[in-house]
Amino acid sequence: MTRTKEKIKKRSYSPFLINRKSIYGVLEIIFSELKNSIYKSLDKESSKEKKVLNYVKEKAIKNDPESVLKIIDDCGYNKFFLMNIGDHKGKILDDYVLESKAQKVLELGVYLGYSTIRIARNLSKNSRLYSIDANKDFLEIAQEHLEFSGLHDKVTFYNGKASEVIPRLNEKFDFVFIDHRKEAYLTDLKLLIENNCLNDGAIIFADNIVLFHLEDYLEFVRTNPIFESKFIPTLREYSSSHPDGIEVSYFRK
């Protein structure tokens, strides 16, 4: 292992001491999602995701991605817990997407299309975003958000598990954003490698690695010679206290 990787590994593992704030952060998410599930079972229109879409259509400016992002962020801070990357971590995502100058980007986990909008608005004219989500209802809402934002022509959506879609893509990516099922981070990254889906120098941007304590994923990208990884400490989306973090890994053939 190189001296650089030793420093990265030593520095990056330090946030993974379980503390009350990280436990409370996960419990808050679980409680919020349980409450929303009950509301959805009573009335589909009352789901928080559908309400966010309605707020966007009512208050945002059509064909203005920044306006749409602002309304979704407002909902995340003041109305509901939303599983978006959020504004603070989103700005970090923006920087790395721009740095990559990516022609083809893969997004694992779409939810409401918030990160989809953030990525798509930073792509060059001939670039394309491929976005995968297993939840059909979320994907339909995301598509409406992209249509409203005026960015739908930059994105190809896939409904299904990433593990089933990836082998059928037949594409090579310069940037991969991972924010779907946490237990699938590592298996789907390995699947991308096995299917030769990563260009040399591709950036892998993984969210929520502290909040969900993703040590198996971190061990793989930090000790494998095909990656150079960097840890970025953050707070959980729309939170002022719950710790989280991002792992950015550069793929080297």
SS3 178: strand
Residue pLDDT, tens place only, 152-195: 999 999 999 999 999 999 999 999 999 999 999 999 999 999 99
For 94-149, strand residue ranges (E) read 104-108, 128-133
How sure is the predictor about 246, in pLDDT bands with cuts at 50, 70 and 90?
very high
Give the integer Cα–Cα distance in Å for 191 and 56. Answer: 36
Percent of the chain whose pLDDT exceeds 70: 82
What is the 8-class DSSP label of residue 102?
-
Give the integer Cα–Cα distance in Å for 219 and 231. Answer: 12
pTM of the model: 0.85
Look up tokens 């503390």; give the residue. Answer: 19
Active site residues: 179, 182, 207-208, 237
Query: Residue 5's Cα: distance from chain center in Å?
Result: 25
Q: Domains in the chain, please, with CATH?
A: 3-11+84-251 (3.40.50.150)
Helices 65-78 and 48-59 meet at what angle, rounded to 10?
A: 130
State mean pLDDT over 142-151: 99
pLDDT, position 253:
86
Give the integer Cα–Cα distance in Å for 25 and 240. Answer: 11
How sure is the predictor about 221, in pLDDT bands with cuts at 50, 70 and 90?
very high
Residue pLDDT, tens place only, 194-203: 999 999 999 9
